[in-house]
Amino acid sequence: METRSVKKKRLLDEIYASFSCGEDRISDLPDAVLHHILFFLPIKSIAKLSVLSKRWRHLWHTFPDLDFTTINIPSSSSAYNSISKFNPKGRNKKLNANWTSAGRADFIDEVLSVRGKNSGIRVLRFHANLSFSRLNALIRGAVKHEVQELDVEVATNDYFNFPRSAITSNTLRVLKLKSKYPGFRLPPSSIMKNGFKNLFSLSLSCLIMYEQPSLHDLFTDTAFPLLKKLNLDGCSGLNYLHISCRVLEEFILENCFQLEHLDITCPKLEKLSVKSCFDSYSTSGTDVKIVGPRLKSIVWSNNTITDQSCLENLTSLIEALVGFFVLLEDLGAMKLRSVSNFLSGLSHSHSLVLENQSVEILSKNNHMAGISLRPFTKLRSLELHTGFHKHNIPGLANLFKSSPATNTLILKITNEHNIQRRKWNRDLWQLSNSGEERFWESQSNAMNSFLQHLKVVKIHGFSECESDVSLVKFLLKHGKVLQEMFLCAAEKSRDSLHRERIKSQIMGFSKASCNAKIVFR
């Protein structure tokens, strides 16, 4: 397969070859076709091609996709002139590597200044360290040329305000504004709600929202009637967020640690990702509400447990990934109930991944194992990440009982160095009549539906510990339609003879399914 760099070189060679052979067929192609071809080249190469002829200079001046993130800009002399005077015969020479962000801004200014009045900009993308006034000027220039997609990553010496020229643009469809420290502020909601009428996608990073409560319910149909994608990252001072955009399809929220209240009601939302939000040390109550009848995918990772959880009408859910983060000693009845409500709200999912401390949380108190989750009647794949030991068995059993139609179980065992796990010894195990084995046997009737549907089991991080082996023995003994069991070792054993002995013993366990195949990896 042709790599991107090889493709770029081939395109350049073909263009230069068309001039050297005296028959320039490429230049006869329509502007739109040539713009599409040039799209695959770095912007520096496109600028260099402008010296070939007036036709190619016109192509450069009207090129709609300006990505300045792939080029360094010289700090001295005119960047545009340096490139426009480039000699094609010396195209392999390197330009001055000592280039600055100020030079980058100068170069962008020059590129915009030579463009024709009717040469619109489809994409403008740049990263720079510059003043707010300079940033404003660049964005105003882009808006003047009817930019459709604006992707800016900027660093300034102080806080800056969101460029208002972008708000009033009638052509802007995609806006990505990422600020490095210290961040930027939005104007008042009255101004924000009067713009962005044609915006399809919005991404904001390092947003400062202290003392701006009017912006917490900004994302509604009034302000963003056409918004389909929204990404908010690192919003400091954000403690309440309400999202109710009618046509929103994808929402990503990350690193909003002060968040306490999240309310999402979007009838067309299909993808939701919330990572590293909420603060476990919040003094006030926390809650989350999600209403999404078309939601197909939800990622809820590395978030602390809210005091209240309400997930409603997620009837279209296909896949869900959940990872809670909490100090187990801080768990009370309210938070345990919240976890139960949250997981029950995912009951329509076809695939469920529980990571981090989820299994440990479900096993925190003995009474939790008796709280019935809403059955995952559509669940076909269940993946669990856990530091597996005997205290987590009630949580696992609760999940198995709540997954009556699951055919694939994936268990990823993480190594917890502070937890002592009892090594399995066949002789001692049989003499002592393992408590773990007795527990699993006591749950066999309640798990009957789960055991009658389970076909594939994959255990990653498998070791010779009693918890691992007792679960394997139980699933083999009662898995009536089990076809494959993959046991992937956590690490290479120092005692290979001992491991081989255990493998042999597992192969001798009683099997409910004559088709069950055990694979060791």
Work out the mean pLDDT of the chain and round it to a whole number: 82
With beta carbons less than 8 A apart as the criterion, state whether 357 and 328 touch.
yes
Which pLDDT score is estimated for 20? 54
Rounded Cα gap, residues 482 and 454, in angstroms: 6
> pLDDT by residue (tens digit) across 53-90?
777 787 778 888 888 887 655 443 343 444 444 333 33
Which of 43, 62, 90 is the endpoint of a domain? 90
With beta carbons less than 8 A apart as the criterion, state whether 51 and 19 touch.
no
- What count of other Cβ atoms lies within 10 Å of the Cβ of residue 119? 15
Q: Within a domain: residue 500?
A: yes
Q: How many domains does the chain have?
A: 2
Which of 90, 117, 143 is the endpoint of a domain? 90
* CATH number where 501 lies: 3.80.10
Mean pLDDT of 260-270: 96
SS3 assignment, position 31: helix
Q: Within a domain: residue 48?
A: yes
Rounded Cα gap, residues 86 and 431, in angstroms: 85
User: Domain span at residue 52?
Assistant: 17-90
CA nearest 163: which of 135, 198, 194, 141?
A: 135
> pLDDT by residue (tens digit) across 149-205?
999 998 888 888 888 889 989 999 999 999 987 889 988 888 888 888 899 999 999
Mean pLDDT of 319-326: 91
Evaluate if residue 400 carries a pLDDT over 60.
yes
DSSP code for 203: E
SS3 assignment, position 41: coil
Kindly report the pTM of this predicted structure.
Answer: 0.84
pLDDT-derived band at 106, boundaries 50, 70, 90: confident
Rounded Cα gap, residues 18 and 77, in angstroms: 32
Q: Within a domain: residue 490?
A: yes
Q: Which tokens hold the place of 403? A: 């997954």
Rounded Cα gap, residues 29 and 8, in angstroms: 19
With beta carbons less than 8 A apart as the criterion, state whether 304 and 325 touch.
yes
Which of 90, 112, 139 is the endpoint of a domain? 90
Evaluate if residue 334 carries a pLDDT over 50.
yes
